[in-house]
Amino acid sequence: MTIHTVNTTAFSGQRPGTSGLRKKVSEFQQSAYLENFVQSIFNTLGDCAGQTLVVGGDGRYFNRHAIQVILRMAAAHGFAKVLVGQGGILSTPALSCVVRKRGASGGIVLSASHNPGGPDGDFGIKYNIANGGPAPEKITDAIYGQTKVITEYRTSDAGELDLDVIGGARIEQMDVEVIDPVADYAALMGELFDFAAIKALFAGGFTMRFDGMHAVSGPYAHAILEGLLGAPTGTVINGTPLEDFGGHHPDPNPVNAAELVALMSVQDAPDFGAASDGDADRNMIVGRGIAVTPSDSLAIIAANAGVAPGYRGGIKGIARSMPTSTAPDRVAQALKVPCYETPTGWKYFGNLMDAGMVTLCGEESYGTGSSHIREKDGLWAVLFWLNLLAASGKPVATLVREHWARFGRNYYSRHDYEAVESVAAEELMTHLREQLPTLAGQVIDGYTVDLADDFVYKDPVDGSIASKQGVRIVMTDGSRIVFRLSGTGTEGATIRLYLERYERDVAMHDMPAQEALAGLAALADRLAGLHQRTGRDRPTVTT
């Protein structure tokens, strides 16, 4: 084996987004494209001698090849050890867990999360730091800077390693350990939740369906739900990870998990339903005849945190992304703990958790988690709900309605306009920003505008500033309209419109969400010229 220095040419457009670098597989398959980005990570890290790196992904197409490339390059950069999940598999939350438990210096996650997979689908790569969380902007900016000036990369000419057999190997002077991808994560879940109570729930005839969406959560759900907790075989459906996710879109929402929603809508439906996404960091919670919004799920978890052993000492605070509904804020107020509003992107929660300021975090895009790791965690949220169901003896619908009766209902929806021409999307946002100085105090369609701004976040820990994080239009009654451009797509731009209406009156809690939000949707269209500027008469996806 020999280490080689290979001349290369920089590629444009390798700026990491909110969740790393995501592009079409065909772009990553270009000669040296992946190598350039990995080299840029290592250049940013500096001296890697003696350090431990964790590598794994969601099993999508190109995952195995990318891991072999990373292993050879890590050996060429002096890493002492790399831990890699068996078969190249490590869910995003499990990788965060392993980084923290094993004292690694960081990890490389190979995933495009909820984006479609396969040869014509998407691929992604991101670097997680020693706390297990996504690299902050100062690091991702530095990586991007390196991608623009790179002229060479270093790699070993070692052959491919067998990733399917647990055990050790060596590349150059570097040890490679293929690990059980589930073990460390499952042990941590056992510390946080009352597995005995959940096991008794299943033993008593409780029924559940967990949709793994042919993504990476399947092996974890099989091992924990059907293995450790004794759920009947067949509880986990679509539980085998496939390189193309079975041709489906592995995004756990009522549109893409329609099979699960339909199953939970029939008269003899299971007691509980749940789903997770491509890399297992998102979740959807479904009861008989009711899909729980991510914002409500976070709020209900916060209000009932004490049912789980890992949280019986109370929570220190809650953090939510700005577009997420304000339902968790009301719980935080009742618990007399702070609730922080951050930009979209889990990395913004890391500082708050590291500083001991928050325990629970969530985003409207079906991401929920806690300070047990530094990523959102789909199966963790499912296990919390199972713990709550076991402790309360109540079905999902009852728990949700009791929560609304206590705190009020936040009607909430997200309208996605996907693959919009980038210039048109930017012009729409510019048009909105130009109106902001004049909106406050206006009465429009019966709503009085209380606040209109382009969200700016000042990190309370390190003082860093994140600007232009989304246009907020907040009404005096607490209703909100939020516009932002998403950084997770790979084609054009995705415009996300978030609508929220607060309703305290219990007698008004049974309206269909889109009916309750119709007035706000019309107002949003009027302010943004949404349909005219996008050429669309309806959203691509409504959740």
Query: Which of 335, 297, 379, 371 has its CA nearest to residue 92?
Result: 379
Q: In the chain, what are the helix, strand and coil shares in percent, each to the nearest 5? A: 35, 25, 40
What's at 203, amino acid-wise? A
Distance CA 471, CA 262 (A): 35
Query: Which of 30, 3, 11 has its CA nearest to residue 150?
Result: 11
Q: Write b or e for each residue in 44-63: b if 16 or more Cβ atoms lie within 10 A of its Cβ, otherwise e.
A: bbeebeebbbbbbbbbbbbb
Asked whether the beta carbons of 375 and 291 are under 8 A apart, the reply is: no
Judging by beta carbons within 10 Å of its beta carbon (0-12, 13-18, 19+), is residue 456 exposed, middle or buried?
exposed
Which residue in 19, 113, 276, 295 is the catalytic one? 113
Distance CA 18, CA 53 (A): 22
What's at 43, amino acid-wise? N
DSSP-based three-state secondary structure for 21:
strand
| Residue 370 designated active-site | no
Asked whether the beta carbons of 152 and 31 are under 8 A apart, the reply is: no
CA 114 to the chain's CA centroid? 8
Q: Which two tokens stand for residue 312?
A: 């019986």
Distance CA 352, CA 460 (A): 8
For residue 127, the cross-strand partners are 108
Asked whether the beta carbons of 361 and 262 are under 8 A apart, the reply is: no
Phi-psi region of 527 (alpha: psi -120 to 50; beta: other; left: phi over 0): alpha
Asked whether the beta carbons of 250 and 240 are under 8 A apart, the reply is: no
Q: Which two tokens stand for residue 311?
A: 């949280």
Residue whose pair of structure tokens reads 């997200």 in the numeric block:
414
Q: Outline where 309-454 has alpha helix (H).
A: 327-335, 347-354, 378-392, 396-407, 422-439
What's at 473, amino acid-wise? I
Q: Write b or e for each residue in 385-404: b if 16 or more Cβ atoms lie within 10 A of its Cβ, otherwise e.
A: bbbbbbbeeebbeebbbebb
Asked whether the beta carbons of 299 and 327 are under 8 A apart, the reply is: yes
Query: Which of 229, 249, 226 has its CA nearest to residue 237?
Result: 226
For residue 273, the cross-strand partners are 209, 286
CB atoms within 10 A of CB 441: 10
What are the residue numbers of the active site?
113
